[in-house]
Structure 1
Amino acid sequence: MKPALYPNLIPSYEHERLAALQPYQVLATPGQELFNVFVGIVAKLLEAPIALVSLVRATDVVFVGNEGLPEATIVDREDSMCSVAILQDGLTVFADIATEPCALVNPFVAQQMQLGFYAGQALRTPAGVAIGSLCVLDRKPRRLTPAEGELLEQLALVAQDLLRLQATRAADPALVPALRARLDGPLQQSLTRLATLAELHAWETSGDAAEVQRYTASRLDEARHLTQAMHRELQAALGEAG
Structure 2
Amino acid sequence: MNNTFGLPIIPDNDNERLAKLKSLHILDTYEENGTFKHIAAIASRMFNVPIALVNFVDRDYVITKAQTGMDGLNEVSRAVSLCSLAILNSDVTVFENAREEPCLLANPMVIGDFGLQFYAAAPLTTSDGYNIGAVCIVDKVPREFTASDQKMLQSLASIVMDEIEKS
Fold in common (TM above 0.5) = yes
Aligned with 2:121: secondary structure?
strand
**For the structure 1 residues 121 and 148, does the alpha-carbon distance in structure 2 shift closer, same or farther, using more than 3 Å as the test?**
same
Contact 1:119 1:137 in 2 (8 A): yes
Contact 2:39 2:156 in 1 (8 A): no
Does 1:91 find its partner at 2:92? yes
Give the match for residue 8 of structure 1.
Answer: 8
Give the match for residue 139 of structure 1.
Answer: 140
- How many angstroms does 1:67 deviate by? 0.8
Letter in 2 for 1:68: G
Give the match for residue 200 of structure 1.
Answer: none
Distance (Å, rounded) in 2 between the aligned partners of 1:14 and 1:106: 24
Residues 179-214 of structure 1: CA deviation (Å, up to 9, x unaligned): xxxxxxxxxxxxxxxxxxxxxxxxxxxxxxxxxxxx
- How many angstroms does 1:26 deviate by? 3.7
Give the structure with the larger helix fraction.
1
Bigger relative contact order, structure 1 or 2, given CA contacts below 8 A and separation 6+? 2
Q: Which has the larger radius of gyration?
A: 1
What is the TM-score when the length of structure 2 is the normalising length? 0.89
Gapped regions of structure 2 (runs ≥ 5): none
Letter in 2 for 1:142: R
Aligned with 1:162: secondary structure?
helix
Q: Percent identity, aligned pairs only?
A: 32
**For the structure 1 residues 118 and 7, does the alpha-carbon distance in structure 2 shift closer, same or farther, using more than 3 Å as the test?**
closer
Contact 1:52 1:136 in 2 (8 A): yes
Does 1:68 find its partner at 2:44? no
Give the match for residue 162 of structure 1.
Answer: 163
Contact 1:43 1:50 in 2 (8 A): yes
- How many angstroms does 1:38 deviate by? 1.8
Equivalenced residue count is 165
Give the match for residue 114 of structure 1.
Answer: 115
Give the match for residue 176 of structure 1.
Answer: none
